[in-house]
Structure 1
């Protein structure tokens, strides 16, 4: 639908085309400071959340052959670069040197990703060492975040992965994590190695 706006000199009206719903949703995702929910988008556009979800599905289809994707994490959505372009993006932003993670960081990330929310004592129990330093590093990189406190003695902090974790490993949602198929009982060390290898793959 076209709308009339007045020219700078006040003489002739200028015809402007109203953006499609897909374009409006895309614009909001582009300017959003972080991940948003369909409800937030619906309120901003004064439409139902269901219409937003349908629009997001259409956007995902249109992005299939492009350099951007919709990333889903805990009911929230954000625009992100396509996993296939990770190498070029890292080189362009000079991130290659800082994006590598240590074995300890990968171990801890794997545990959090597959078991979240999880506490530091639970991580320490499996790893057999203190994980304070590794957790601080992962927090500073934005790969994990605090998600409240667990019930029980001391009420330890719960940790979960973040949208940046998905971006780092080229995922659009946690559903894309490889399934943990462990046919035989494993020791804690073997289970930990299995989880870490799945993240590397």
Structure 2
């Protein structure tokens, strides 16, 4: 099988699968090494970008997925019937931020940082698939620990959790904003 045919197969597999597909699964399907599959996917990503195709291949941890380009959103949204899909409240966004930076974390730890109860926010984030239970701590009461999901990474365009902006960078932006408003 030549490289061009392998690229076509990968594109078809990613299209049909719809969700992110691990490099291990693709290597097994194609009967190739993981490194070879990664190299081919990197070539495909470069070709898609160079040719300004309507699709792109995104990476989420060590998995890949076909996606439309962000810059085409305004055109694509014209086709989509709006769902009554509310965004996140400020409370839910604060809770999500704490979980994403401090994970794994318990509800009590989140509440101690926020200073208010956060059961409802956590449930909302779980319902939206942005947060999940990651297990329980081995201490009194066996509290649930929470962390973000792959859906969180996909939603915010992150390859992995290490792609989050560093807290110092965010503080620097806040300071710049404060200086500009004075």
TM-score by length of 1: 0.69
Matches within 5 A, 1:160-179: 160-169=147-156, 171-174=157-160, 175-179=162-166
For the aligned residue pairs, the C-alpha RMSD in angstroms reads 3.1
Look up the match of 1:44.
29
Task: Note the C-alpha offset of 1:123.
Answer: 1.4
Answer with 1 or 2: which has the greater Rg. Answer: 1
Look up the match of 1:28.
13
TM-score by length of 2: 0.75
Look up the match of 2:58.
71
Look up the match of 2:144.
157
Whole-angstrom CA distance in 2 between matches of 1:167 and 1:182: 22
For residues 118-175 of structure 1, the C-alpha deviation after alignment (integer angstroms, 9 at most, x for no partner) is 3322211211122111111111112222333334333333323233323433x14234
Asked if the contact 1:70–1:172 (Cα under 8 Å) also holds between the matched residues in 2, the reply is no
Q: 1:138 to 1:173 in 2, by over 3 A?
A: same
Q: Mind listing any 5+ residue stretches in structure 1 that lack a counterpart?
A: 2-16, 185-193, 195-201
- More contact order relative to length (CA 8 Å, sep ≥ 6): 1
Alignment coverage as a number of residue pairs: 170
Asked if the contact 1:143–1:162 (Cα under 8 Å) also holds between the matched residues in 2, the reply is yes
Whole-angstrom CA distance in 1 between matches of 2:170 and 2:75: 38
